[in-house]
Structure 1
Amino acid sequence: MNRIALMTLAVVSGLTLTACNPLETQPVGNSSVPQPAKSVKLSRYVGKWYEQGRYEASFQKGCEGVTADYATKPDGSLSVVNSCRQGGLNGPLKTAEASARVVDGSNGSKLKVTFFWPIESDYWVLDRADDYSWSMVGEPSGKFLWILTRAQKIDTRQYEALTNRARAMGYDKQLLRRTQQ
């Protein structure tokens, strides 16, 4: 029995180190991440989102045409399917599936996302449009930021307005990488 417990601990520790390693090398783009500005109604948040910009992360290296699809599950949690085209818009499709749950007391604006059990990642909807046409997603370390829209393509003016909004929340615009859609 002790041997099984030790093996389980070793596997979980290995997964934790593997999952957390990208966080250690990620630059901090906001040393004072704000709390989410608005509550989120999951019934309005579900559906397809298109990534317009992000802080580059090792798990998204070379990804273009990035999307995130959220759907409500019968137990009230969410299913998450992240997709991207590796190496360019015509590259091979890569997908990652996860589940997410709302953090109690967060008015729907904070989620815990699980790609590999038992490791959960923070997902904060920092700000969003009143009509849910865009959202800014981050987490407490300030190392990750995603700019998402419902529209697949937005013009330079719209992108600039969203990046300026991120800057107003304390994010370093120089770390943002525009995603091809």
Structure 2
Amino acid sequence: MKINKGHILLAGAGVAAVIVAFSSCATLPKGAVAVDHFDKDRYLGTWYEIARFDFRFEKNLDHVTATYSLNDDKSIRVDNKGYDTVQKKWKESIGKAKFVGSDYEGRLKVSFFGPFYAGYNVIAIDKDYKYAMVAGNNLKYLWLLSREPTMPATYITRYLKQAKNLGYDVSKLVWTNQAR
């Protein structure tokens, strides 16, 4: 039986497309719920990172900010900046976020690397859109964000309690230095 190389390539491309599609799905950690009645326009702008779980893309970064703005295609431009305390230089990463489902739910997926998306889920936010907690796809990713370089202790306590109840090990949070 002769095997057609074109069919093998086509099948391989199909498998690759399925893998990319599934890797592009943004999920929530078990038990977490994204903010409902989310107001995208109020969320846009600059946020200061107060705390995070450390991972390689943010290793050794302080003075971290994330600035969100609307792209022409209605996706959200993500501009992350931080100062690398080891290399003694500023780093910047530009990405794109898209809503997963409704624009009125704080469930998004974000990509900094082409077609590969990860979960970006706003799971807590105050009524004035000044303080937020964001979860990734699983319990390995968590951020506390503020419109100011600091966050009041009442919000930190509230968000840490919520994160613990979801199963996060909050003792592993890295507290971002925002002092200038």
TM > 0.5 between the two?
Answer: yes
User: Which of 151, 172, 179 matches 1:175?
Assistant: 172
2:150 corresponds to = 153
Task: Flag the 1:87–1:33 CA change in 2: closer, same or farther, 3 A.
Answer: farther
Measured against aligned partners, the alpha-carbon deviations of 1:146-168 in whole angstroms (never above 9, x if no partner) come to 00000112355653444234324
2:164 is paired with a residue whose SS is: helix
Q: Which range moves more in the overlay, 113-122 or 46-55?
A: 113-122
Whether the 8 Å CA contact 1:33–1:142 is kept in 2: the answer is no
Letter in 2 for 1:130: K
- Count of aligned residue pairs for this structure pair: 161
Whether the 8 Å CA contact 1:38–1:127 is kept in 2: the answer is no
Question: What is the CA–CA distance in structure 2 between the aligned matches of 1:168 and 1:128, rounded to whole Å?
Answer: 17
1:114 corresponds to = 111
Unaligned residue ranges in structure 2 (runs of 5+): none
Question: What is the CA–CA distance in structure 2 between the aligned matches of 1:107 and 1:46, rounded to whole Å?
Answer: 14
1:103 is the counterpart of 2:106: no
Letter in 1 for 2:110: V
Whether the 8 Å CA contact 2:71–2:77 is kept in 1: the answer is yes
1:101 Cα offset (Å): 1.0
Whether the 8 Å CA contact 1:66–1:85 is kept in 2: the answer is yes
Runs of 4+ in 1 over 6 A off after TM superposition: none
Whether the 8 Å CA contact 2:40–2:103 is kept in 1: the answer is no
1:25 corresponds to = none
User: Which of 59, 65, 85 matches 1:61?
Assistant: 59
User: Over aligned residues, Cα RMSD in angstroms?
Assistant: 2.9
Unaligned residue ranges in structure 1 (runs of 5+): 21-29
What pairs up with 1:22-33 in 2 under 5 angstroms?
32-33=30-31
Question: What is the CA–CA distance in structure 2 between the aligned matches of 1:80 and 1:42, rounded to whole Å?
Answer: 13
1:131 is paired with a residue whose SS is: coil
2:43 corresponds to = 45
* Structure ID, larger Rg: 2
Letter in 1 for 2:89: P
Identity %: 28
1:72 is the counterpart of 2:75: no
Letter in 2 for 1:115: F
TM-score normalised to the size of structure 1? Answer: 0.76
1:74 Cα offset (Å): 2.1
1:177 Cα offset (Å): 1.4
Question: What is the CA–CA distance in structure 1 between the aligned matches of 2:133 and 2:38, rounded to whole Å?
Answer: 12
TM-score normalised to the size of structure 2? Answer: 0.76
Whether the 8 Å CA contact 1:110–1:124 is kept in 2: the answer is yes
Whether the 8 Å CA contact 1:33–1:140 is kept in 2: the answer is no
